Amino acid sequence: MTEVVVVTLIKTAIILFALLTAFAYLTLFERVVQARLQARLGPNRVGPFGLLQPAADGVKLLFKETSGPATRDRFLYLAAPVLSLAVAFTAFTIVPVSGPTDLVVLGHRISWYVTNTNVGVLFYFALTSLGVYGIFLAGYASNSKYSLLGGLRSSAQMISYEMSLGLSLVPVFIVAGSFRLVDIVNAQRTWWFALPLLPAFIIYMIAGIAETNRAPFDLPEADTELVAGYHTEYGGMKFALFFMAEYINMVIVSSIATVMFLGGWWGPFGILPGPWWFLLKVVAVLFVYVWLRATLPRLRYDRLMQLGWKSLLPLSLAMMMATAVVVVAVQR
Looking at 98, 160, 186, 213, which residue binds another protein (CB under 8 A)?
Answer: 160
Which range, of 6-14, 36-44, 280-288, 290-298, touches another protein by CB under 8 A?
Answer: 6-14
Q: Contacts with another protein in 110-149 (CB under 8 A)?
A: 114-119, 122-123, 125-126, 128-130, 132-133, 136-137, 140, 142-149
CB nearer to another protein: pick between 93 and 258? 93
Q: What angle do CA 30, 32, 38 make, to 5 degrees?
A: 100
Looking at 18, 34, 100, 309, which residue binds another protein (CB under 8 A)?
Answer: 309
Give the Cα separation of 125 and 166 in Å (integer). Answer: 7
Q: Are 176 and 184 in contact (CB under 8 A)?
A: yes
Q: Contacts with another protein in 289-308 (CB under 8 A)?
A: 301-302, 305-306
Residue among 86, 130, 84, 31 nearest 239 (CA): 84
Looking at 241, 285, 290, 319, which residue binds another protein (CB under 8 A)?
Answer: 241
DSSP 205-233: HHHHHHHTT-TTS-GGG-HHHHTTGGGTT
Q: Are 260 and 207 in contact (CB under 8 A)?
A: no
Q: Are 88 and 23 in contact (CB under 8 A)?
A: no
CB nearer to another protein: pick between 82 and 288? 82
Q: Contacts with another protein in 32-91 (CB under 8 A)?
A: 61-67, 69-71, 73, 76, 78, 81-83, 85-86, 89-90
Which range, of 33-41, 49-57, 166-174, 207-215, touches another protein by CB under 8 A?
Answer: 166-174
CB nearer to another protein: pick between 273 and 314? 314
Element (H, E) at 267: none
CB nearer to another protein: pick between 269 and 302? 302
Give the Cα separation of 316 and 126 in Å (integer). Answer: 19
